[in-house]
Amino acid sequence: MRLSWIFGSSMEAHHLLAAYVAVWLVQGGYAAWIAWQWVRVGKELHPELSLNSEEDVES
């Protein structure tokens, strides 16, 4: 089965595409926000490692 119908002009195609894209965007956006905070808090916690991507923080 081809997927071209999903990009069609009918309401059902629009809504199906919107639902799938919304799920990917919200889930991906939330994961990206956690990753960004992870890096930001890591720099606050260990500023000496901010230039070092290896980040061996545990002793």
Partner 1 sequence: MRRSRIYRSVGVVWLALTLAAIAYATRLALVVAPTEATMGNVQRIFYYHVPTSMLSLLFPYVNLVASLFYLYWRRRDPLRALAADAVAIAAAEVTVVYSSLCLLTGMLWGRAAWGIWWTWDARLTSMLLLWLLYVSYLMLRKLSSTGQTQTLAAVLSVFAAIDVPIVYMSIQWWRTQHPAPVFFGGPDSGIDPSMMPAFGWNVLGWAMWGVFLLMFRYALERRRQESEQEAALKAIEAPLEMAQ
Contact positions vs partner 1 (CB under 8 A)? 1, 3, 5-6, 11-13, 15-16, 18-20, 22-23, 26-27, 30-31, 34-35, 37-38, 41-42, 44-45, 56-58
Q: What is the smallest separation between the CB atom of 3 and partner 1, expressed in angstroms?
A: 6
> Which of 24, 27, 6 minimizes the C-alpha distance to 15?
6
Q: What is the smallest separation between the CB atom of 26 and partner 1, expressed in angstroms?
A: 6
How far are the Cα atoms of 6, 10, 57 from residue 50, in angstroms, in the given order? 44, 50, 11
- Return the number of the residue (27 or 52) whose C-beta is nearest partner 1: 27
Integer Cα distance of 52 and 42 in angstroms? 11
